[in-house]
Structure 1
Amino acid sequence: MEKFEKAFQHMERPFAWLDFDALDQNIDFVNCLATKPVRIATKSIRSVGVLKYVQEKLHHCAGFMTFTAAESVYLIEQGLDNILLGYPTVEENSIKKLLTYNKEGKDITFMVDAIEQAQLLQSYAAALQTTANICIDINVSTDYKWIYFGSKRSPLDTLQKLKNLTDAIAQLPNVRIHAVMGYEAQLAGVPDLTHATSAKVRTKGMLIRRLKKQSVNKITSFRRLAVAHVKSVAPLAFVNGGGSGSIAYTCAQKEITEVTVGSAFFASALFDHYDSLQLQPAVGFALRVTRQFDDHTFVCQGGGYIASGAIGEDRAPVFLNVRYQLLPLEGAGEVQTPFIDPTGSLKIGDTVYLRHAKAGELCERFSVLHTTRGDTYEGPILTYRGEQQCFL
């Protein structure tokens, strides 16, 4: 934090920061761990400048996984290519723009898990006299009956459902099966919690690790069978899987040709609890202390940057200085945040540095990431918001 004080002494608070030293270490870690090409998850970054920076430093970049059709259009217009739209879309104008870019030679793949999505692509592609490349999203979650372990998104959780879809898609002349994705959310997106401090969270962590271990066989067997089936009806350009929390496992699977990584580059707070990751906090935000309530309770301006997902303590931002703690009954506030400094060493005017629980969502709050190497200020990089873009 001392290096930040020197690098950012001229900045007004609040601001978002990016530590290039930490980002480079995280990219190097991914390069070492990923034995297959990496597709960058744009939702975890949300800055064209940073996306291009990471792409240049990856040893083998497969392209980008985007989160909306409008974002995909924007990134293509900024010079990016090899786009996998990671979620189904039914937005007419953006689909038509993407199909036009595809017709002009851009590499764009649409995600589907239902015939209605494919039929919509068929109608637009036929009108434009082109072909829509699609990726079929299969569901590799594990249903233990007493608990559903994974994500409730794609309905394609059996080979029969998958066959029904591929048979229906075969009747669409302007839609081409191009790829398959099987995202193991229960491995990639659920922290291990090995080093949790409370007994309740440690118990939860033990259950999570057991469920992860048991679900591996289901993921592997179903995804391989699913990929084999799709290959029997169409040649595949790629098979995508994984996420930041399962890089090594996913790369070891023979049916996988590429792995998606996003949060690992920024190393947001939720990823502190993964046993397999050795990452450095690369992105966060700085707040000014503006009040002192008592000897150990201070108040900073802003701070209410709560992450999406199931509501819980793990969605709140965390302090870089681990001694500082949010108040359990107030949390991170909309315009001010009280917190505890047990040493009582802070004073009004000081700066506290925090990290968001999830990676890219911080960039929806700030227009600029102010960057540093060592204790030297390196200048600003615009976020999507700074480029006057807002997609979700």
Structure 2
Amino acid sequence: MRRDAPEARRRLAERLDAAVGALGTGPSTPTYVVDLDAFDANAADLARRAAGTPIRVATKSLRVPALVERALTAPGCQGVLAYNLREALWLREHGVCDDLLLGYPTVDAAALGRLTADERAAAEVTLMVDDLAHLDVVDAARSTDVTVRVALDIDAGLRVGPAHVGPKRSPLRDAAEVVDLARAVVARPGFALVGAMTYEGQVAGVPDAVPDRRARSLVVRRIKSASMDQLAERRAEIAAGLRDLADLELWNAGGSGSIEASAADPVVTEVTAGSGLLVPALFDHYRSFEPRPAAFFGVPVVRRPSAGCVTVAGGGLIASGPTGKDRSPLPWAPPGLRLTGLEGAGEVQTPLVGAGAEHLGVGDTVWFRHAKSGEVAEHVREVHLVAGDRVVEVVPTYRGTGNAW
């Protein structure tokens, strides 16, 4: 039975309702749940797709220490791609991981001061840079001459004439630009060049098999193919240019939607995945893998404005990115529910219509899927980990540990 089939979603609602209801306490709203069976199956599928290339776990897509730890125990997964230096320092201090690569540059002087004052931390955390200014910030924050590990973030977008398709990240693109910065890093006391990253977001993060957008999906697939062909040539050229300057430990690439293509490049030594573990709504329509939704948030029905409409408390957890319907949460279980065009998903209440509304009463729970992975964790303090039909553990999110990064 397909996981998006009405009967499958009805059974999911029954299972989650039973698991949370068995706790005997009134869970907070929203109630965040992660299905461990689906999570583990997704981890195994990512490893299969990586075909032996190590997978670095993207914490931005989880934001739950227990889930980061669980992912790191899965075969094929090793190391963390953190999104914040304070986060990386917290993870190593709490024994979650000792191989931490930052996915983004940092100018957090206080955190850099902590990093450069701790020789062991500096040996376990690798900063991401794409500008000499990033080195200047490190030097201004340091109080010791401890060596800081750095990796170069290199633009992985597709260029078609003057057009650029892909994330607007690094200014480094041509091999000469990359080599110039690498030479400056190698020559600068207190820094060690240990890696590089090319994140092809236009391949990893864009669905390419959307049923009601077949023409657009075909264009996306062509863009992805052209991106990987162009990037393979550039990566090889850049790697050759860096070879005489540094013996790189790592070359990070890819994301959940591009695991196979990224891992196939001989330059790449590791790939990154995070969203593929939880599979948010934006990851439903990829040709590269079968979605197994693992993360849900539940909100209660609080009133019935009419026979074909119910209103739930809250629900308006909107995802980041370009504003549009695909950034709204998706009413998932029970089936037969949809947002209204006039109100959408609201901060304090969300009306839902559709055939499924006729079977819901005050106090029932509607389970949503967030559009993006990890972001829902910013709205809750705890996560209910479900195996089968029971909650096996309730664990804190980053927010629940008292942190906001």
Same fold (TM > 0.5): yes
For the residues of structure 2 that align with 1:148 and 1:106, how far apart are their CA atoms?
36
Q: Please say if residues 298 and 341 of structure 1, whose CA atoms lie closer than 8 Å, have aligned partners that are also in contact.
A: no
- Counterpart among 106, 125, 129 of residue 112 in structure 1: 129
Per-residue CA deviation, residues 268-313 of structure 1 (Å, 9 max, x unaligned), is: 1111111112231111100111111222111100101000011111
Between 1:378-387 and 1:104-113, the stretch displaced more is 104-113
Question: Aligned pair 1:176/2:192, yes or no?
Answer: yes
Task: Report deviation, 1:105.
Answer: 6.8
Q: Distance in 2 between matches of 1:118 and 1:135?
A: 11
> Which of 341, 345, 348 is the matching residue for 1:335?
348
Tell me which residue corresponds to 2:108.
91
Corresponding residue for residue 269 of structure 2: 257
Q: Distance in 2 between matches of 1:370 and 1:273?
A: 27
Counterparts of residues 142-221 of structure 1 (less than 5 Å)? 142-145=158-161, 147-192=163-208, 194-197=209-212, 201-221=213-233
Q: Give the partner amino acid of 1:28.
A: A
Match of 1:31 in 2: 47
| Deviation (angstroms), 1:102 | 3.9
Report the identity percentage: 34
2:239 is matched with which residue: 199, 212, 227? 227
Q: What's 1:386 paired with? A: 400
Query: Secondary structure in 1 aligned to 2:177?
Result: helix
Q: 1:102 to 1:51 in 2, by over 3 A?
A: farther
Give the match for residue 249 of structure 2: 237
Deviation at 1:2, TM superposition (A): 1.3
- TM normalised by structure 2 equals 0.91
Structure 1 Cα separation of the partners of residues 171 and 80 of structure 2: 24
Contact 1:62 1:258 in 2 (8 A): no
RMSD (Å) for aligned C-alpha atoms: 1.6
User: In 2, distance between residues paired with 1:279 and 1:329?
Assistant: 30
Task: Specify whether residues 105 and 312 from structure 1 end up closer, same or farther in structure 2 by C-alpha distance, changes over 3 A only.
Answer: closer
Instruction: Give the deviation of 1:139 after TM superposition.
Output: 0.6
Contact 2:123–2:148 (CA under 8 A) maintained in structure 1: no
1:308 aligns with 2:320: yes
Aligned AA for 1:52? Answer: E
Letter in 2 for 1:277: F
Question: Residue type of the partner of 2:315?
Answer: G
Q: Output the amino acid matched with 2:341.
A: P
- How big is each residue's C-alpha offset from its partner over 1:62-119, in whole Å with a ceiling of 9 and x where there is no partner? 3101111111111111112101011101111101212333446741110000111123
Counterpart for residue 368 of structure 1: 382
Amino acid at match of 1:318: L
Q: How does 1:250-329 map to 2 (within 5 A)?
A: 250-321=262-333, 322-329=335-342
Q: Are residues 1:129 and 2:142 paired?
A: no
TM-score by length of 1: 0.94
Partners of 1:144 and 1:295 in 2: how far apart? 53
Instruction: Supply the distance in 2 between the matched residues of 1:305 and 1:78 (Cα, whole angstroms).
Output: 29
Q: Which string of whole-angstrom CA distances, capped at 9 and with x for unpartnered residues, describes residues 28-47 of structure 1?
A: 11122222111100100111
**Higher deviation after alignment, 275-284 or 349-358:** 275-284
Comparing 114-123 and 345-354, the one that deviates more: 114-123
Separation in 1, partners of 2:157, 2:164: 8
Amino acid at match of 1:390: A
Contact 2:175 2:238 in 1 (8 A): yes
Q: Larger deviation: 162-171 or 336-345?
A: 162-171
Q: What's the offset of the Cα at 1:123?
A: 4.7
For residue 395 of structure 2, give the secondary structure of its aligned residue in structure 1: strand
- Runs of 4+ aligned residues of structure 1 deviating over 6 Å after TM superposition are none
Distance across 1 between alignment mates of 2:162 and 2:172: 20
SS in 1 for 2:223: helix
Superimposed CA distance per residue, residues 349-374 of structure 1 (whole angstroms, 9 cap, x where no aligned partner) = 21110111111101000100012111
Find 1:19's aligned residue among 7, 10, 35: 35
> Contact 2:19/2:386 (CA < 8 Å) preserved in 1?
yes
Is the CA contact 1:50–1:381 (under 8 Å) kept in the aligned structure 2? no
